[in-house]
Amino acid sequence: MIRHGETAWNAERRMQGQIDVRLNANGHRQAQAMAEAVAHEPFAAIYSSSLGRAVETAEAAAQRLHLPVVLRPELCERNYGIFQNNTVKELAARYPEAYVKHVSRDPEYDYEGGESLRVFAMRVEAGLNLLSRQHPDEQVLIVTHGGVLDIVYRLATGRGFSEPRDFSIPNAALNWLDQIDGIWRLELWADTEHLTRDSALDEVK
């Protein structure tokens, strides 16, 4: 599983959510480096969030692997409602009460019309389990977002959804997971050896 390459909003630490922001020049370089890193892996399929930054990243790998990119909306980033299009600094000033709920990872807060953490986690888990059932004993490449990978890490490690994040989710890093008997297991997380420069800051941490 791979987080999309860097966007200008990542670099600004501006909340993207489901706003369709495209890769910047560094993001395209990261996507190409990722594609080189996975070029000889025996993937059966490539799946991507339907948001442009993920699709662009997935397409870089698709060109090397000679596989189509299949879009799956359940792999899209969380809908952050009123937080979208705000930087981290702006959020604390404009929505102080909501920001407290955000930082504490309130499982029921939905950002006034977005997705609550509980609903988002259910969406992600159901989508991944469906893909796993469709590909028994096969390896697939999934390109998605920081919020989705946050949920995936917790599913694979047993860490509670509301506990603070103490792990990184770099742009275009390689995250290897396995599912055995319905249980997700972490094999390797946040591998950035293929990248030549530091990844963007994680704007949703």
List, for residues 94-137, the tens digit of each pLDDT value.
999 999 999 999 999 999 999 999 999 999 999 999 999 999 99
* Cβ atoms 39, 32 nearer than 8 A: no
Q: Is 28 a catalytic site residue?
A: no
Q: Using the predicted structure, report yes or no on whether residue 199 has a pLDDT greater than 60.
A: no
Contact present, 75 and 49 (Cβ < 8 Å): yes
Map out the domains of the chain as residue ranges. 2-174+181-191
Residue 205: is its pLDDT beyond 80? no
Mean pLDDT, residues 151-165: 95
Q: CA–CA separation, 18 vs 15, rounded Å?
A: 9
- 71 forms beta bridges with 48
> Domain 2-174+181-191 falls in which CATH fold?
Rossmann fold (3.40.50)
Catalytic residue, chosen from 4, 56, 102, 115, is 4
| Distances 153 to 20, 77, 126, 178, 185 between C-alpha atoms, Å | 24, 15, 15, 12, 9
In this prediction the pTM is: 0.93
43-71 pLDDT per residue, tens: 999 999 999 999 999 999 999 999 999 99
Specify whether the CB–CB gap between 6 and 172 falls below 8 A: yes
Residues 6+ apart with CB under 8 A from 15: 9, 80, 83, 84, 85, 86, 87, 88, 91, 203, 204
Start-to-end C-alpha separation, the chain: 19
Q: Give the span between the Cα atoms of 8 and 203, in whole angstroms.
A: 11
- Which of the following is catalytic: 77, 102, 115, 145? 77
